[in-house]
Chains A and B, each alone.
Chain A
Amino acid sequence: MSATDNMSSVRPDLIEKVTGRAEYVTDLTIPGMLHGFVVRSPAIHARIVTIDTSAARSMDGVLDVLIGEDVASFGCWGVVLKDRPILATDRVRYVGEPVAVVIAETIEIAQNAAELVDVEYDELPRATTIHEAIAEDAPLIHERHENLEDFYFKGGARPTQNSNIFHTYRNNVGDVDAAEAAAAYIHEDRFTFPAISHFAMEPHAVIADFQGDSLTVWAGAQTPTAVQKVLSRLYGLQLAKIRVIVPFVGGGFGGKASVKIEPLVAAASWKVQRPVRIAQSMAESMLTCRRLGADITIRTAVDAKGRILAKSAKLLLDGGAYSDTGSAVATKSANRIMGPYVVPNLRLEACAVYTNTVPGAAFRSIGGPQAVWAKESHMDNVAAAIGMDPAEFRLLNLVSRGERIRPDLRPLDMDMSDLMGRVTRSFASEVQASNRQARGLAVAATDPANTPISNAIIRLKIDGSILVSVSSIEVGQGAHATMGRIAAQTLKQPTSAVTVLRTDTAVAPYDWGTGASRSTVVVGLSVESAALDAADQILEMVADVWELPRENLSLVEGGVSTGSEVLTFHQIFHRALGVDSGEVIGRGAITPRSKKGALVESPLFWETSAGLAEIVVDEDTGEIHVPRYASAADVGRVINRIAAEGQDEGAAIMGLGHALYEVLEFEDGQPINATPIDYSIPRISDVPPVLDTILVENGDGPGPGGAKGMGEGAILPVAPAIANALFSTYGIRITDLPMTPEKVWRALQKRN
Chain B
Amino acid sequence: MLPSPFAFERPSTIADAVSAVGESGDGMFYSGGTELLLAMKLRVIHTDRLIDIKGIPGLDRIVLNDANDIEIGARCTHNKIASDPVIREHVLALSSLCANVANVRVRSVGTIGGNLCFGEPHADPPTMLAALDARLVLNGPGGTRVVHADDFIRSELETVREPDELLTVIVFPRPTGPVTYRRFKHGERPSVNVAMAWSLAAGGRTIRSARVRVGALGSRPQPLKAIEDVIQGISVSEVRPAIEAVLPTALGELEVNEDRHGGADYKRHLAGVLLLRNAEEAIAAAGNA
Contacts and interface: CB of A to CB of B under 8 A. Distances in A.
A111 interface: yes
Contact of B273 (A111, A620, A746): A620
Interface stretch (A556-564, A579-587, A670-678): A670-678
B7 to A, nearest CB: 15
Nearest to A673: B260
A678 B273 contact: no
Interface string A730-752: 00000000001110011000000
A621 B2 contact: no
A108 interface: yes
A281 B260 contact: no
A697 interface: no
B188 A680 contact: yes
B273 A742 contact: no
Interface string B125-154: 000000000000000000000000000000
Which of A672, A740, A745, A746 has most B Cβ within 10 Å?
A: A745
B1 A111 contact: yes
Nearest to A622: B266
A680 B2 contact: no
A666 interface: no
A672 B2 contact: no
B45 to A, nearest CB: 14
B262 A742 contact: yes
B260 A678 contact: yes
B53 to A, nearest CB: 24
A112 interface: yes
A107 interface: yes
A672 B38 CA distance: 18
Main secondary structure of the interface of A (DSSP, over half): loop
A536 interface: no
Nearest to B4: A112
A661 B5 contact: no
A105 interface: no
A623 interface: yes
Contacts of B42: 675
A742 B185 CA distance: 11
A201 to B, nearest CB: 15
A746 B266 contact: yes
Contacts of B262: 742
A108 B3 CA distance: 8
Contacts of A742: 186, 262-263, 266
A661 B266 contact: no
Contacts of A108: 2, 4-5
Given A621-B273, A678-B260, A741 B186 contact: yes
Main secondary structure of the interface of B (DSSP, over half): loop
B270 A621 contact: yes
Interface string B257-284: 0001011001001100100000000000
A740 B269 CA distance: 16
A281 B1 contact: yes
B186 A740 contact: yes
A255 to B, nearest CB: 20
Given A621-B270, A621-B273, A677 B1 contact: no
Interface in A656-707: 661, 672-673, 675, 677-678, 680, 683
A673 B269 CA distance: 25
Contacts of B1: 111, 281
B187 interface: yes
Which of A107, A620, A740 has most B Cβ within 10 Å?
A: A620
B125 to A, nearest CB: 19
Interface string B232-274: 0000000000000000000000000000101100100110010
A111 B2 contact: yes
Interface string B8-44: 0000000000000000000000000000001000110
B118 interface: no
Nearest to A660: B186
Contacts of A621: 184, 270, 273
Nearest to B38: A677
Nearest to A679: B187
Contact of B188 (A111, A115, A623, A677): A677
Given A621-B184, A680-B186, A740-B186, A672 B5 contact: no
Contact of B186 (A112, A623, A746): A623
A28 B84 CA distance: 44
Contacts of B186: 623, 661, 680, 740-742
Nearest to A108: B2
Contact of A680 (B38, B103, B187, B270): B187
A130 to B, nearest CB: 23
Contacts of B5: 108
A246 B162 CA distance: 52
A734 to B, nearest CB: 15
B260 to A, nearest CB: 7
Contacts of A740: 186
Nearest to A624: B186
Nearest to B267: A742
A394 B2 CA distance: 54
Which of B5, B186, B260, B263 has most A Cβ within 10 Å?
A: B186
A666 to B, nearest CB: 13
Contacts of B188: 677, 680
Contacts of A678: 260
Nearest to B261: A742
A132 B282 CA distance: 53
Contacts of B38: 677
Contacts of B2: 107-108, 111
A104 to B, nearest CB: 13
**Which 10 pairs across A and B sit closest by C-beta, in order of nearness?**
A680-B187, A620-B273, A742-B262, A742-B266, A741-B186, A108-B2, A281-B1, A621-B184, A621-B270, A621-B273
13 contacts: A111-B2, A115-B43, A281-B1, A620-B273, A621-B270, A623-B186, A673-B260, A675-B42, A677-B38, A680-B186, A683-B103, A741-B184, A742-B263
Given A621-B273, A672-B260, A683-B103, 8 more contacts: A107-B2, A115-B43, A621-B184, A661-B187, A677-B38, A680-B188, A742-B186, A745-B266
Interface of B: 1-2, 4-5, 38, 42-43, 103, 184, 186-188, 260, 262-263, 266, 269-270, 273
